[in-house]
Structure 1
């Protein structure tokens, strides 16, 4: 009879064995729990506020599903809501903040404010979130369909990373298609100098010095984060004007032009807490001195939840100091100024642009949940998949993308 020795150093510790057993039990219990989860649908936010705010304290839940972000949108748009709340063993397992959007005769259930969200995760209890791929996806999909029956034709939850900062999405097993847009992030290291080393630090410092000299030669500049609400609101209106001019020059529709979207963004400016760990929107500006005294060369709006900063938008005045790349110069000051303030990740959001790639070494793919609820939803879901894959095909080919952008500009 042969025997085999096992090196004691290779044997798992009692703690490791216990943790593994607990993990297996948790995964098994979550699979069994799917049959016991009840889903309720709410048409108002207020009854869920306490549970909602408790779930959003988890650092890995997206800013865009936070109560204040969604409340600002609902106050501006007044669309019908169908907020999905999952309950297990008397506890809230998840909240999916969903509104009903009418389009071409279809009722589509989407994340609240989906059109202006850079990353969506939903809100999940820690146990449910950590269960990840162990959830019975087929049963989960059936429960969501049943909950939305008669309210929507299609559940379309967009821009979801399958894994976010080490955690798998509990939505991962649902029917999905990869979104045509990716997001771009810059991880923060302990110091700004260390963060720059992830990039081409030498070239970036050189470019910054050149920009600084040119701006000083033009009369100087100042980087500001105005502290008063009145000034923040004024700067947001300046952004709308600058962005409108930019869209017009490209022949593109202005996605910030409608009254509701502007009201939503103005509402976010007043959503902040005393700890400065959460703010819905904060305006940062590069203001000129000298000949252009008081004029805004570049402007951006950023949001914060916990250690995650999301850049929502930016614009420049193309008639002022164009040879200085004022937008990138503003990002330098914003990013350097956030070091030492508990930030771990700076997110440039969705969309492939050169300046994002130059700043962000991390690229995150996003996915859309496409779950039909009615026969009409089956057709709409298939159409969404075809269109999304078509857009992804075009965007992956720079020459083809440039050609289609030119056509889009010409036809307005």
Structure 2
């Protein structure tokens, strides 16, 4: 293995390694590893324009995540770029190393906020790294990275664009939750008419009429920074209340999360990927949504509504339909409800995909961490995939939350 990589011109990296994939064809893959966003920005942005990838691995998303959330945890950025012929990228792996009580673990950057994690792949990745070769390449990547005890790469889809995720060559286990999405037609009214039952459409119209009787009902896409921030504030406040009510951890209360959503949403004024919107009734905030717009797909990620005042009118559904109409008008062909198996998604989604986890020990300490992690994930998957167990778990969680509130 040579330490002489291809000429990267302005792309300076901390490590350059050559990996010869097939001696008979003289095929080599060169690796470079970047330890900061600024150094990787040019190659990353250029590559994601034509590569197969998800919004969660885009430069803008992870750069904002790191600035507001990632740096607080002390994660060590390990952005791996695999280069093929003519110094053209074949793959980018946005990785990082975190230190915890269980040891040093290799994770996806943005792991706390990403619904999907996957490599960024060149359209010809499979032609350059043949089936069965990725496991060798991955082994060399691990040996090139700084020492770590175990690998924890969670929530991976089987496909990345039209390509098979190369991590499927490694040992993967089914995640506790799947993902759901729907293919939208160019004419949203036609799509809506075919997707919803007559009863559902009547209820929707009736509730909209009732809301209009309370006050003018309109769906708002803020176009000023201060209005975007106000919309985020309202959405996060309502979502935090909803999480506390069911006893779920309020991740939005953690340092940096509010700023993350605000900064990414404000970038939409300059064609960024974050988008916030909300439903107003008589000038009052009734329901809101936050998501990402990336490569013809809308990612539906954060939603909540004012239950005490408007809950009987299903304002969340009213907001969702308006958001889907807007996404269709913006030429999004796929509306992605993202991770989670909530029942309402079945009313919209004809596409379901499983997600997978990869856990791998790299030291004796890592063996312990792997065993504990696998045990926890198995228990979580067992509970979530059993309706009776899940119902019991959520009921107990809510009771504990109420006990804390009134105890």
Distance 1:103 1:398 in 2: 33
2:15 matched to which residue of 1?
A: none
Q: Which residue of 1 aligns with 2:274?
A: 281
- C-alpha distance in structure 2 between counterparts of 1:320 and 1:385, whole Å: 43
Is the alpha carbon distance of 1:389 and 1:203 closer, same or farther for their aligned partners in structure 2, counting shifts above 3 Å? Answer: farther
- Following superposition, the deviation at residue 403 of structure 1 comes to 0.9
Q: Secondary structure at the match of 1:113?
A: coil
Give the aligned partner of residue 148 of structure 1: 145
> Is residue 338 from structure 1 mapped to residue 327 from structure 2 by the alignment?
yes
Match of 1:359 in 2: 348
Contact 1:41 1:83 in 2 (8 A): yes
Partner of 1:161: 157
Query: Aligned in 2, Cα 1:113/1:304: closer, same or farther, shift over 3 Å?
Result: same
Change (3 A) 1:167 1:99: same
Deviations 1:33-62 (A, max 9, x none): 897323333221211111111221136311
The one of 107, 111, 116 equivalent to 1:114 is 111
Q: CA RMSD in A?
A: 2.4
3-state SS in 2 of match to 1:116:
coil
**Is residue 47 of structure 2 the alignment partner of residue 55 of structure 1?**
yes
In the alignment, is the contact (CA less than 8 A) between 1:34 and 1:140 conserved in 2? Answer: no
Q: Which residue of 2 aligns with 1:211?
A: 207
CA distance in 1, matches of 2:358, 2:250: 27
Is contact 2:268–2:275 with CA below 8 Å preserved after alignment? no
- Separation in 2, partners of 1:208, 1:131: 51
The answer as to whether partners of 2:54 and 2:116 remain within 8 angstroms in 1 is yes
CA distance in structure 1 between the aligned counterparts of 2:60 and 2:39, rounded to whole angstroms: 14
Q: How far, CA to CA, are the matches of 1:391 and 1:126 in structure 2?
A: 35
Q: Is this contact kept in 2: 1:187–1:195, CA < 8 A?
A: no
Q: Is there any run of 5+ residues in structure 2 with no aligned partner, and where? A: 1-19, 402-407
Could you tell me which of 305, 311, 315 is aligned with 2:304?
315
Q: Which residue of 2 aligns with 1:12?
A: none
2:62 to 56, 60, 70: 70
Matched position secondary structure for 1:217: helix
Work out which of the two has the higher radius of gyration on C-alpha atoms and give 1 or 2: 1
Q: Which residue, out of 16, 35, 39, partners 2:31?
A: 39
1:95 aligns with 2:88: no
Aligned to 2:404: none
Secondary structure of 2:308's aligned partner: coil
| Cα pair 2:247 2:397 within 8 Å, conserved | yes
Secondary structure at the residue paired with 2:302? strand
Aligned to 2:405: none
Q: Provide the rounded CA distance (Å) in 2 between the counterparts of 1:369 and 1:130.
A: 24
Does the aligned pair in 2 maintain the 1:83–1:99 contact within 8 Å?
yes
Partner of 1:184: 180
Q: CA separation in 2, counterparts of 1:341 and 1:240?
A: 25
Judged with a 3 Å threshold, the aligned counterparts in structure 2 of structure 1 residues 114 and 203 are, in CA distance, closer, same or farther, namely farther
Q: Show CA shifts across 1:232-266 (max 9, x none).
A: 01111111211121122222220100122222222
8 Å Cα contact 2:78-2:97 kept in structure 1: yes
Q: TM-score, normalised by structure 2?
A: 0.85
In the alignment, which of 172, 183, 201 is matched to residue 168 of structure 2? Answer: 172
Count of residues in Structure 1 that have an aligned counterpart in Structure 2: 376
Deviates more, 1:247-256 or 1:164-173: 164-173
Check whether the contact 1:108–1:154 (CA below 8 A) recurs between aligned residues.
yes
Gaps of 5+ in 1: 1-28
The corresponding residue for 1:15 is none
Specify the alignment match of 1:259 in structure 2: 255
SS in 1 for 2:275: strand
Judged with a 3 Å threshold, the aligned counterparts in structure 2 of structure 1 residues 34 and 341 are, in CA distance, closer, same or farther, namely: farther
After superposing the two structures, state which structure 1 stretch, 79-88 or 190-199, moved more: 190-199
| 1:50–1:165 Cα change, 3 Å | closer
| Distance in 1 between residues matched to 2:129 and 2:359, nearest whole Å | 18
Q: Is it true that 1:385 corresponds to 2:381 in the alignment?
A: no
Supply the distance in 2 between the matched residues of 1:197 and 1:118 (Cα, whole angstroms). 29
**What secondary structure sits across from 1:301 in the alignment?**
strand
Partner of 1:268: 264
Could you tell me whether the CA contact under 8 Å between 1:161 and 1:365 is conserved in 2? yes
- For normalisation by structure 1, the TM-score amounts to 0.84
Instruction: Report the CA distance shift for 1:221/1:31 in structure 2 as closer, same or farther (over 3 A).
Output: farther
Secondary structure in structure 2 of the residue aligned to 1:145: helix
